[in-house]
Chain A
Amino acid sequence: MANDLFRRQLASYASVHRDWRNKATHFVGIPVIVFSLLLLLSLWRFELGDREWTVSLAVAIVAVLGWIALDLGIGILMGALMAPAWYAADALAGALGSPSATWTAFTVLFVGGWVLQFLGHHYEGKRPALLDNIFQGFIGPMFLVAETMVVMGYRRDLADAMGEGDVTVR
Chain B
Amino acid sequence: MLVFVGDQTSEDCKVWRTQWEPLFVASPVYKKLDYRVIYPARSALLSKQQTWPADLRWLLDTFLMSQVGVQEGFEVPRFFLVQNKQVTFSTSGNNGWREVMWPTLQDVTSGQPG
**Which residues in A have some Cβ–Cβ distance to B below 8 Å?**
4, 7-9, 11-12, 14-16, 18, 126, 129, 132-133, 160-165, 167, 169-170
A-B contact count (CB 8 A): 55
Q: Which residue of B lies closest to A160 (CB)?
A: B44
Collect the chain B residues with CB atoms within 8 Å of residue A8's CB: 69-73
**In the assembled complex, B38 has its CB within 8 A of some CB on chain A:** no
Is the pair B45, A12 in contact by a Cβ cutoff of 8 Å? no
Given A8-B70, A126-B61, does the pair A169, B47 have CB atoms closer than 8 Å? no
Within 8 A of A (CB), among B44-76: 44-45, 47-51, 60-61, 64-65, 67, 69-73
Q: Which of A129, A133, A160, A161 has the most CB of B within 10 A?
A: A160
Q: Is the CB of A15 within 8 A of B60?
A: yes
Q: How far is the CB of B87 from chain A (nearest CB, A)?
A: 14
A131–B113 CA distance with the chains assembled, in angstroms: 41
| A15 contacts B64, C-beta separation under 8 Å | yes
Chain A residues with Cβ below 8 Å from B72 are 8
